[in-house]
Amino acid sequence: MKFLIGLVIGVIIVPVAVFLYFISGFAPAATGDKPLPFEKTLAHAALDAHIEREMPKSVPVQADEQTFLAGARTYRDNCAVCHGLASGDQSVIALGEFPKPPRLLQGKGVTDDEPGETYWKVANGIRLTGMPAFKGNLTDTQIWQVSLLMANADKISDAVRQELQPPATAASATAPPQKTTPHKTR
């Protein structure tokens, strides 16, 4: 009898309680909320397994200076708003995201990832992270160029590094946020 009660609790009551917790608005949903226990671990385990199964195993683009320069231009135009440039502050967009986007050009970035893994992330995006899918908006070649740039970011030339600096003439995409006073409406 105790086994049957335990089975009912485990199979019916616990899942219903978890479901009610989420749909009642008690689960953290804002970017500033503290994550749930094991949220990061479970999300990464699922993502890692999915990418390992689906990522391309061969790279159809040569890893050379021209590829890195083209990748740097694509990165600057499409990725820097969230992931930042080689120097400068994070953008207002990046500061407001949860989870925080990694600074790919600072520290080791994703230089320890296979280019196919980065390709998969750029092409498909990552659910519930703010990472968009670029498949259909960038060509496969552009996605591979960015992926190879990221895999080799610790070995790039000064010319490629220069492409990854904030533009000198325009307002920087990674300018620090400006404090503003909200307008009150009457």
pLDDT computed for residue 179 by the predictor: 52
pLDDT computed for residue 167 by the predictor: 76
CATH number for the domain running over 62-163: 1.10.760.10
Any idea what DSSP says for residue 12? I
Segments making up each domain of the chain, as ranges = 62-163
The per-residue pLDDT for range 67-108, each reduced to its tens digit, is 999 999 999 999 999 999 988 889 999 999 999 999 999 989
| pLDDT above 60 for 22 | yes
| pLDDT above 70 for 178 | no
Reported as half-sphere exposure (CB side, CA atoms, 13 A), residue 152 has a value of 20
Q: How far apart are CA 28 and CA 55, in angstroms?
A: 31
pLDDT computed for residue 128 by the predictor: 87
| Average pLDDT for 127-134 | 94
How far, CA to CA in Å, does 167 sit from each of 10, 21, 46, 102, 125? Answer: 58, 47, 38, 21, 27
Residues contacting 121, CB < 8 A, separation 6+ = 51, 131
Higher-confidence residue of 175 and 42: namely 42
Q: How far apart are CA 77 and CA 142, in angstroms?
A: 12
Query: At 177, which amino acid appears?
Result: P
| pLDDT above 70 for 112 | yes
User: Quick one: which of 35, 41, 40, 48 has its CA closest to 121?
Assistant: 48
Which two three-digit tokens encode residue 41? 């671990």
Supply the pTM of this predicted model. Answer: 0.78
